[in-house]
Every structure is written in structure tokens, then in C-alpha cells.
A and B are shown apart, each in its own frame.
Chain A
């Protein structure tokens, strides 16, 4: 078996640069997750939380674990589950104010400033890929205790750092302003992608089990992978046409 000429991350990075030279409407971002390679380390989940400064209760990429069989014939299956950015997303038409939509690159995004927080999209998603930001903080129950311990005032400095979702600074000073009160979801790290970087979950995957790229580029790695016979999409019967594929 021939060795890979280069790390897949390097290859995907180069393909990303190529895709960014195209008009946004001409590229189609796709993610492929190789379930055979996933070891369930949850590094992608943590990378996503760090990249997007996700507060408690908000998760974009949980890794669903499933135990199969009975002892001694048992196995564990790990299935990272980001938003699937469906071509026919059920969450989009239900939004009463057009606060969620598929952008010209086919990525389902949120307009935090328009979202009213009705949470209809949460119920509409057949993959439960959305969560609501209820305004929780990791330091919620810490005492203030200035001068005695690293109290809430100091410890929550990290939580006040803005995140840069959708290329905008989203401060979190502790009030009720967006994105608190909004539906939140994976956005394929568009703010990174537009700067020429792969999504955080992709670069962090220790087993190189997550692939990302432009499926409109026939030379891309993802184009190769999604045409394999072992590439599947979840709940195909719904006709949602997810842009996240699993290799099984």
C-alpha cells in the first residue's frame, strides 16, 4: 500500500486555498467523518468549544457514543455529530424571521441580531443539532471572594472574551444580549475558513478522521471520499440531503 504523499491536513489546506479563489457561490463545503478512525477522544468537541467560546449547555459537535453487543462481544461506536448543513434544511423554513438560512456557500448560518429565540428550529432539526444559549457561565456558582481565591471576577475573564462567529465580535459581558437567548449551531467555522484555515474540529482530530473541503472541486479529497460506496448520510429517507457524510 502506497504511503500518503502528504498529510491529509496539508492537502485539505491547499484545497481550501484553491476553493477560496472561487466565487462563494461556486464552492460547496462538505465534511466527511470516518467512523472507523474515530477513537472517541472528544478533541473535536473541545476544540469547537474553545474556538467558539461556547458557554455551558451549548454544543456544536458532540461525539455520540453507543455501546453495542453483550459481554464479551461488545464494541463501542463513536459518531461526531456537527450540524449537517442540509441542502434541504428543515430548520430554515420554520424560522419566522429569516434569522437562519443557507448562505451562498451552502452553509446554514444564524443571524443572531435577528433571531427572536423562539427555538422552533431546535424542534425542527431531525438531528438535534442545535442548542440554545440560555446565558449560563462556567463561573456561575463561584464565590466572588476577592483577595482570597481566584473568584468569579477573575475566573470569568475567559468567558468575557468575544468569540468571532460569522466574522463578527460577539462580546459576552454577562447580560442578555445576543448570542444569549439565541439558537446556536455549528457553522463549519466559516470565520476560520474565510481566513484560509480549516475548521477547528478538523485540524484537532488526532486520528485524521474528519475531512473538510469543496465538493465542487472534483480533485478535492472530500470529492473522492463521498463517492465511495461506504459513504453514507444520516436519515436519507427524510430527503434533507446533509452535507456531512460518514464513512462506515
Chain B
């Protein structure tokens, strides 16, 4: 019993002790709050991790796990590369022209850090994809050491490197103190990027245009179409970013948004006319070597890429949204977003059906000798999609890092505050 008492006594003593020592108020537990910023990072990292599976396959198995072949040597990666070049160059081209040549309101100029950042991120995506499309990706430096200047691909690769240097220089200047000298250099770099950008896009189109082995590509049509498409995609990206990142209730914001919407509409209509003319000129005589590729685009197994993605979501819907009288910034943003998400159908339809046309033009060859890669069919494999996802996620994370960590956001005039937090 005595022991029992003692046992009972002990808690009482503890109670007394606790009463004597003044209790510190418990520190409020920091509760983790999932913010939009966190979600954006998680999505990017998840996509990168999933895409890494494809990267592992690509680096260990080579191109074996792709659907590429000897009759369809270029596929999803080349088409996506072309589209990314359009976006990257087009957005800067339109921005530079509007700000430095046509003197649009200064509100637009404040987009510079974000726009150059996005161009760099897109360039990273593009270079990853085109690098991995090579049979020997780690020999990319051969083009720099043993260039053949007669090849337009050499020019394209070199111009892209020079463009990368200009882009990085422009971005570096953003971080430097805003002195008159640096501003002058930045301005000159912008002017330099104009001919460089035009040359890059036109040469990227000419890479296809000079190929006599593919009659549907050959000619001056594609270089022109590439330039127009680049202006469409670039204006779309610029308009989307402006509407999204610069949103303020100011009149200038609404005015610039509307102007960008009108510009996008104009470029879209021009590109539609050029595409229609090109299509009709090829389809009217109906020479199979050329017409087959177009027929495949319009009525082939992947007709939906053209009719639904490109024409439906990428052209008609944005035109309807942009052409209505009651234009709001949000509507312009939606139109631009739709366009940049679906306009990739254009390079896909330029690159792939033309190569598939070999099935009709040289049918005897397809059945002459059979084996992996000797077929006239192409649809990207899971591995190709995963590598594409990796490249896109990588660029996305570069953008997110610059935007959230390095603070490369549109700046408010004479202040370091961002427009959108």
C-alpha cells in the first residue's frame, strides 16, 4: 500500500513542479500551405521525372525505340523543333519590331525580361529535341569543327548558336545596372536579333525547300510559310504572355491587348490565305509526287491533326474569338493560348505526310526489302513522347526558375515591384 501511495504521489509532485516552472507558450506550428507556386514546381518536376524514362531509353537504346525509319527519317522531334524555333524567334521578332521600330506603348517593353526568358527556355527545349534526334547526339560539335557551308543545315545550326549568344547577352544586360551604355548595347542587340531571327526561320524552312528528294517540300514556298508561321506563333506567344503577366486594370493594358489581338488576327488571316493558295496550287494539277502529301494531310489517317487541331482549335476558333466586336483581354488571351497550344499541327503536317507519300510514289521500294524502319508509316512511340515531355518540362522549369527565383518578371515603371505576383 505504501508503495502504491508513493506511486500516486509522484504525479502530484510533477504537477507541482510544472506549476512552479513557468511554461513557455508553445511556438505556433508552421503549417505548410500548398501555393500555386508549389503546384507549378511539382507539375514541372513530375513531368521531368516521367520524361526521364524516355531520356534513359534514348541514351541507352539509341533511336531503336523510336518509330523513325529510313523512309520517314524525321518525325515528332524535328517537327517540334521547328515549332519551337517559330515560337522563340517569332515572339522576339514581333516584340522587337513593335517596341523599337513601331514604338508601341512602353507598357509592352516591360515584358522584355519575361519574353527573353521564355525565348531562352524554348531554345533549350528546341536544342534538346534536335540534339536527341541525331543518331550521334554527342557529335553535335562536328558541325562547329567541320562545317560544310554549302549545307543549309550548317547555317541553321550556326545561326541558332549565334542567336543563343545574343539571347543570353540580352538576358545578362537585364541583370546589369540600368546605365545608358548598357541600354544602348541592349538596343543594338535587339536590332541585331531582327536579321538573325528572320535568317534563322527562313533557313529552317529552306532546309526543307532545297530537298529534291521530297517534291512536296521543294521550292520557295516553305521558307515563306515558315516566316509567316513564325510571326503567327510568335505573336500568339507575345499576346498570351502580355495578357497573362501584365494584367492590370489600366487603359494602356486593354489598349495594348487589343492591338496585339488585331495583329494576331491579321497574321492568322495572312497565313490562312498563303496556306490555301499553296494547297490549291499543288492540288489543282494533282501531280502525285506533290499532291499525295497534301492529300494525306487532309484525308489521311491523321486527318484530325489538320481539321480539328490545326484548323479548328488553331485557326477558326482563335479567329472567331479575335474577330468579335466585344474584345476583352481575357478573350484575346484565350485565343492566343489556343493558338500556341495547337499550332504545332502545322510543322507536324509539313514534316510527316510528305515523307509518308513514298508509299504511293515508290510503292515497289517499300515491298522490295522489309525490316525495321523500312516502312511508310509513322506515329511517335511512347519513348518519343516521353523525350518530348522531358524537353518541354526542362524548358518549363528553366522559365519557372527565372520567373520565380531570379525574378525575371515584367517590371513596373521606375519601380522594382512586379506587376503580377
Contacts and interface: CB of A to CB of B under 8 A. Distances in A.
Interface of A: 45, 56-59, 62-66, 79, 81, 90, 93-99, 114-120, 122-128, 130-136, 176, 178, 180-183, 238
Contacts of A94: 151-153, 210-211
Contacts of A136: 64, 371-373
B285 interface: no
29 contacts: A62-B368, A63-B368, A64-B368, A81-B368, A90-B213, A93-B150, A94-B210, A95-B148, A96-B147, A97-B143, A97-B146, A114-B139, A116-B140, A117-B135, A118-B153, A124-B212, A125-B213, A128-B213, A131-B70, A132-B70, A132-B373, A133-B135, A134-B68, A134-B372, A134-B373, A136-B372, A176-B62, A181-B135, A183-B135
B390 to A, nearest CB: 19
Contact of A115 (B70, B135, B147): B135
A79 B210 CA distance: 28
Contact of A116 (B73, B142, B368): B142
A132 B212 contact: no
Contacts of B150: 93
B136 interface: yes
A128 B71 contact: yes
B355 interface: yes
Contacts of A64: 362, 364-365, 368
Contacts of B211: 90, 94, 123-124
Contacts of B153: 94, 96, 118, 120
Nearest first, the 5 closest Cβ-Cβ pairs linking A and B are A117-B135, A181-B135, A119-B73, A62-B368, A131-B70
A117 B136 contact: yes
Given A94-B151, A122-B70, 5 more contacts: A57-B372, A58-B371, A125-B213, A181-B136, A238-B212
B157 A56 contact: no
A64 B68 CA distance: 22
B136 A116 contact: yes
B139 A116 contact: yes
B169 interface: no
B374 A134 contact: no
Nearest to A45: B369
B74 interface: yes
Contacts of A117: 63, 134-136, 139
Given A93-B150, A124-B212, A119 B74 contact: yes
B183 interface: no
A182 B148 CA distance: 18
Q: Which of B133, B139, B151, B368 has the most CB of A within 10 A?
A: B368
A162 to B, nearest CB: 19
A205 B355 CA distance: 32
B69 interface: yes
Contacts of A133: 135
B214 to A, nearest CB: 6
Given A65-B364, A116-B136, A128-B365, A96 B373 contact: no
A124 B207 CA distance: 10
Interface residues of B, number: 46
Contacts of A131: 70, 373-374
B367 interface: yes
B64 A98 contact: no
B191 to A, nearest CB: 28
B241 interface: no
A176 to B, nearest CB: 5
B328 interface: no
A131 B375 CA distance: 11
A93 B371 contact: no
B358 interface: yes
B212 A96 contact: no
Interface of B: 61-64, 66, 68-71, 73-74, 133-136, 139-140, 142-143, 146-148, 150-154, 157, 207, 210-214, 355, 358, 362, 364-365, 367-369, 371-374
Q: Which of A116, A117, A135, A183 has the most CB of B within 10 A?
A: A116
A90 B73 contact: no
A220 to B, nearest CB: 29
Contacts of A182: 135-136
A181 B367 CA distance: 24
A59 B135 contact: no
A135 B151 contact: no
A134 B64 contact: yes
A125 B71 CA distance: 11
B70 A114 contact: no
A44 B72 CA distance: 25
Contacts of A119: 68, 73-74, 135
B226 to A, nearest CB: 16
B64 A135 contact: yes
Contact of A56 (B68, B212, B372): B372
B294 to A, nearest CB: 18
A65 B151 contact: no
A89 B367 CA distance: 25
Contacts of B73: 119, 122-123, 132
B70 A130 contact: yes
B374 A59 contact: yes
Contact of B74 (A63, A81, A123, A176): A123
A183 B213 CA distance: 16
Contact of B142 (A58, A63, A114, A124): A114
B216 to A, nearest CB: 11
Contacts of B372: 56-57, 134, 136
A98 B374 contact: no
Contacts of A134: 62-64, 66, 68-69, 372-373
B358 A128 contact: yes
